[in-house]
Structure 1
């Protein structure tokens, strides 16, 4: 008896269709080289912190994370931007003294590398950067952390980090000598992370410190984000 298998052409057509779909997917993948190495843009929420007679607000914060051009996994760059507003209408006017330069946490524990030089107040903004450290609840005063101060708000800062290390990086700061409302901003300031073979995180911080008889220090922290 001769049996006819009429379904075989359908199977061949189905197989051909599957191969065509797989081929199309492969071509699509090949048509978008470098997608895995594209920059990642992170939009970050703003926030406000209040002191006695003053307030600080951060807004328009974002980070654009770029992988290492050397593709070595131990370095990457975060291009950070943000706006800071200080409202201090009741400060007692006071001139700033000579600038002594950044000393960092090692020299001035608990300062986050931020301290006044005699002005009525000083506002500083930057980032806490850690390598293989969860900085979700980190709020300063770490032993061994350093502070690097940029010569301008758009300069690139090199931040060498080893596993378990945290550094405070001041991006921009300003002496406040009289009461008023002040604005600080930075656009695409580069944080170049080096020597970190594990995951890296960062979070913004803004600090205002006043001088005189009534001393206060107000800190505003941002949302942590991954640098890869």
Structure 2
């Protein structure tokens, strides 16, 4: 039985998020969004272990809609994100599927406090549907990964998380705002998280795979 530190995995995920800052393209000149939802590219990624273990990720039917604000004062941005994020694990491998939003703002938004109004609706297996939203408190030029939700995946099974008009709000954000989805799977044979000592246990290879969505500007 191999042991891995869950805290260490979180730190690694944070470093990966910071490395993706440039991909958001903050400060780039781009026009305002269209009135209708804009489709975003699908994505796929797969990772294999030394003993043949496998975890696959799909990002499908993703779109974003920039909400027109009543007050045209340039101090806020809101987008609605939809998409289906799926993982499939090989035989005897179980794990956890996680979704995040990577968000950034160009101009000073200091003094903003975080809030979350997400409501989780558990549907028939293997899907989780999430509505609600998050408020992104960001400093100038900062990019932050916000946790949306996660789902445990049984051994050898597939599971999905669906976002439906999930609201991403940038209060008091001047300049350009940008965001992208992030979906991650962590899995292993006998994968288990011990909440008492914050340790992940499993056999063989610890599989980790992260799939980034297409960046989009929020007008």
TM-score above 0.5: yes
Say whether 1:221 aligns with 2:212: yes
CA distance in 1 between counterparts of 2:33 and 2:41 reads: 25
Asked if 1 retains the 8 angstrom alpha-carbon contact of 2:77 and 2:177, the reply is no
2:39 aligns with 43
TM-score relative to the length of structure 2: 0.63
Unpaired segments ≥5 residues, structure 2: 1-31, 49-53, 108-113, 121-129, 192-201
1:173 CA drift (Å): 1.6
Bigger Rg over Cα? 1
- How many pairs does the alignment contain? 154
Partner of 1:128: 102
How far does the alpha carbon of each residue in 1:136-165 deviate from its partner, in whole angstroms, 9 at most, with x for none? Answer: xxxxxxxxxx9x794421012111222111
The residue aligned with 1:67 is: 68
Q: Which has the higher contact order (CA 8 A, sep 6+)?
A: 2
Moved over 3 A (4+): 36-40, 148-151
* Alignment root-mean-square deviation, CA: 2.6
Please, what TM-score do these two structures have when normalized by structure 1?
A: 0.61
Give the number of the structure whose residues are more often strand, by fraction. Answer: 2
Contact 1:209 1:215 in 2 (8 A): yes
Q: 1:189 aligns with which of 149, 160, 166?
A: 166
> Residues 12-37 of structure 1, C-alpha deviation per residue, up to 9 Å, x if partnerless?
xxxxxxxxxxxxxxxxxxxxxxxx89
Distance 1:149 1:208, change over 3 A: farther
Unpaired stretches in structure 1, ≥5 consecutive residues: 1-35, 93-119, 134-145
Counterpart position of 2:144? 167
State the distance in 2 between where 1:167 and 1:149 align: 18
